[in-house]
Amino acid sequence: MSIEPGKTIVGFIGLGVMGQSMAGHILDAGYELHVYTRTKERAENIILKGAVWEDAVSELGAKCDVIITIVGFPADVEEVYLRGNGILNCAKKGTVVIDMTTSSPDLAVKIDERAKIKGIESLDAPVSGGDIGAQNATLSIMVGGDKKTFDKAFPLFEVMGKNIVLQGKPGSGQHTKMANQIAIAAGMVAVCESIAYAEKSGLDPETVLKSIGSGAAGSWSLNNMGPRMIARNFEPGFYIKHFIKDMNIAATSSSRMGLETPGLDLALSLYKKMAEKGYENDGTQGLFRLFE
Please list the alpha-helical segments (H only) found in 120-219. Answer: 130-136, 147-160, 172-200, 205-212
DSSP code of residue 286? G
Measured CA to CA, the distance from residue 61 to residue 120 in angstroms comes to 12
The CA distances from residue 37 to 43, 44, 57, 107, in Å, are 7, 11, 9, 21
Those residues with Cβ within 8 angstroms of residue 24's Cβ, 6 or more apart along the chain or in another chain = 46, 49
Which listed residue (40, 93, 162, 177) is catalytic?
177
Q: Bridge partners of 11?
A: 34, 67
Q: Bridge partners of 173?
A: none
Q: Is 169 noted as a catalytic residue in this protein?
A: no
Phi-psi region of 187 (alpha: psi -120 to 50; beta: other; left: phi over 0): alpha
What positions carry a catalytic annotation? 177
